[in-house]
Structure 1
Amino acid sequence: MKPTISQETIAKWQRIVDLIARVADVPASLVMRTHAPHHSVFVTSRNTDNPYPIGCRFTLSEKLYCYGVLKRDGELTVENATKDPDWCDNDDLELGMSFYIGYPLKWPDGTIFGTICVLDSRRNQRALLFREGLQEFARVIESDLSLLVEIDRRTALEAELQATLDQLEQRVANRTADLEEANAALRVLLNSVETSRQEYDAKILSQIRGLVVPHLAKLRGRMEGDPSGRIYLDLAEESLKTITSEMSGQLTTVFEDLTPTEQEIAQLIMRGQTTKDIARTLSREPSTIEFHRNNIRSKLGLKRSGKNLRSLLLSIQ
C-alpha cells in the first residue's frame, strides 16, 4: 500500500514542471502516474498550448512514449517521431507531439510510480540540452516519494506504538482497579477479623472478670491458714493476669480501674440483676451494693449524668 501524495508535494511538483517548461521551452512538461494498464497525467505544466490536462489517461502499449521509458527502465529520447519508424504511429502524434524526452520515476522499493517527461511539436534543441536537468528533477521527485514513504512508515509506527501504549495503560488501569477492589475487600475482611477478635477477647475478659476473679478473691479470704493453697492460688491469679494482659479492648481498661468487688458487681449488673438481687447474691446489704454502684458510676464518668450504668457496660463489652 503506497502513501497518498500530499497536496504540499503536488504543489511542489507543479512548480517543478512549470519551471521545466520555461527552461526547456516546451508546451508540455508532465509527471505521469502508472496504474497498469493505464498511464495518467498526474501533474501538468500550466501552458496555454499544453494539450495534456490533469487526469488525461492512456493505455500502456508500445504506441506510447512512456511505455518505452518503462520498458527501457531509463531515458527515452525521440527527436522526431514522424521520421522514426519505432514511433511514427504513436498515440501522442494525435496531439501533434512528435518530440519527447522522458525518465522513469520509482518508489523506494523499486516499483514504478510513473514518468517525468517533456513533449513538443518540433525538434527542441534547448530541451535536448536540458536532459541532465530533467533527470535531476526526476531524482528530486523520487526523493519526495522516499520522504512520503518514510513519513507514512513513521506515522503507522507511531499509531502502532500509541495503540500499544493505550492497551498497556488500559491493562494498568484494569489491574489497578482489580487491586483496589481486592484491597477494599481485604480491608473489610481484616476489619471484620479485628472486630471479631476484639469481641472474642472482650467476651473472654468479661467471663474471667465476672466468673473467675470474684471467686478467687473469696477463695483467698478462706485460705488464710493454708499457705500451700495460697501458693497455688497466686499461680492461678498470675496465669490469669498473663492471659488478660495479652488482650486489648475498652472493657479491659474499664475493669482495671475497678476493685475486685466492683468488678464482681459490675458483672452482675451486666447480667441484669438489680441492687437487691446483687445484695442477696453477695450476702451484702443493699446500701453496700449501692455504695459500690456509685463508685463504679464515678469511675466511668457517669456521676450525675443520668445515663444507665448497665447500658454503658454492655456497650463497651
Structure 2
Amino acid sequence: MREADHSTSDAAASALAADDVQIPPELIQKWQQIVDLIAEIVQVPSSLVMKAEPQHLAVLVASASKGNPYRRGEEAAFDSGVYCEEVMKSRRPLLVPDATADPVWSSNPDLKLGLISYLGYPIAWPSGNLFGTLCVLDVKANSYSELHRRLMTQFLDVIEADLRVLCRYDARLAQEARARLAESERARRVLLGMLEDLNQAQERLQASQVQLQEAVRLRDEFLSIASHELRTPITSLQLMVQSLTRGIVPPSPEMTLRTFRLAERQIGRLTRLIEELLEVSRIQSGHLALELESLDLVLVARDVVQRFEADLARAGATVTLTDAASVVGFWDRSKLERIVTNLLANAMKFGEGKPIEITVEEVPTGTARLVVTDHGIGIPPERLPCIFERFERAVSAREYGGLGLGLYIVRSLVRGLGGRVWAESQVGRGSTFTVELPCSGPSPGRHVEAEAT
C-alpha cells in the first residue's frame, strides 16, 4: 500500500473515465448486494463502489449498513482530498489504518465525517482505463486483516468480470459473455453461501452451548432432587429401625405392627423411585424389548386402581372407573401397567385429594383410549408442552417431590406401543391425560426407543 500523493491535473482527471458504458439496473442491484455483504463481513459502517466521471467522483453504490454517511448519487470533486481520489490517481490499492495519525489526511472530507480508516482498490474497465474504486471505511482505526483484503479482491474480481461481460459487443462472443456472467454470479452465490454457512454454524454453536448449559442445569437439579428423594425414605427407615433396636418404641404388638407398616410404605416408596430410574435407563439404552400378549386394558386399569387403594385412602381421594365390558389389544403387560400407574400416581399427587376419573373405552378406529382426569392444581399453559420431557415438572419439586420422570416414561412407553399421549389442563381446575393405543399392537419388532435429547 502506498502513501498519499495529492498532485493532480485536469487532464489526469478527465482520463480517469475514458470509457462510458451505461451500467444497467440489474448490475447496480447485484453490486448493492456485494457492498452490503462486504460491510456485514468486515463489520464497517461504509462500503462503496465509486465511479470516476470526467469532472468528479460519484457514489455508484453505497452499503445500506448502519452509520454509512454516503448515499448513492453523491458526488465529490477531484482535488477534494477524499481517499478514493488517491486510489484513482495512483491506480493502486490504498490502506489508511488511522488518518488521525497522519497529517497528510488532515483536510480529508472523509475524516471530517469520522471515517478515519480506509481500504480501497481500483476497478478497471476491460480496456484498462479506470472505472472507479471498491472500498470500505471505518470510524475506528483498522488495519483490515489479510482475510478481509482477500475478500475485497475476490469481490473486485466479480465486479471487473461483470464489466467485461457488459463491454462485449461482438455477437460471436455472446455465448462466452453469458458464461462469464454466470461464472461471476456463481462466485457471488458461493461467497453468499460461505457467509450463510458461517452464520448457520455460529447459530448451531450458540444453540449447542445453550442446550449444554440447560443439560448441565437439569443434571444438577436432578441429582439434587434424586438425592433428597432417595435419602428421605432411607432416613425414615433408619429412624424406625433405631426406635425398635434401642427400645424407644414401647415393645407392644400394636406399636411394632405400626412401625413395620410405616417401614413397608417407605420401602415401597424407595422401590418405586429405583424402578423409575431403572425404567429410564432401559428407555435411554434403546434396548427395552416388548413382550406382547393379548391383554384387556379394563382389567389392567382395575388391578392398578386396586393396588392404589391404601394410597388413595391416605390422600383422601376417590377413583371412579368408567369402562367398557372389555378393551382387548396386543400389548406388553408391564409397560401397560406402568402407563396406568404413572398417570394415576400423577393425578393423586396433584389432585389435592379431589375425585379422580378414569375412563377406558375402544373407539371405532380400533384404538383403545385411556383417560385419567383429576381436579387439582392444573398446569400453566406455558409449561404444558414440556411436561413429557425428562426432569421437567409443572410445579416446584420442593412442594411436590418426585424425580420428574413419570410422564416422560409414560410418553416413551406409549410411543413404544405405537400410540400417542397428550394433556389438557386449566390452572386451578385440574388436568386430563389421554392415551390412545392401537388394539392391533405396535408394528412388528418395535422397541421402546430412547427419546431425542
Q: What TM-score do you get using the length of structure 2 for normalisation?
A: 0.33
Structure of higher CA gyration radius:
1
Q: Which has the higher strand share?
A: 2
Q: Which has the higher contact order (CA 8 A, sep 6+)?
A: 1
Greater helix content: 1
- TM-score normalised per structure 1: 0.46
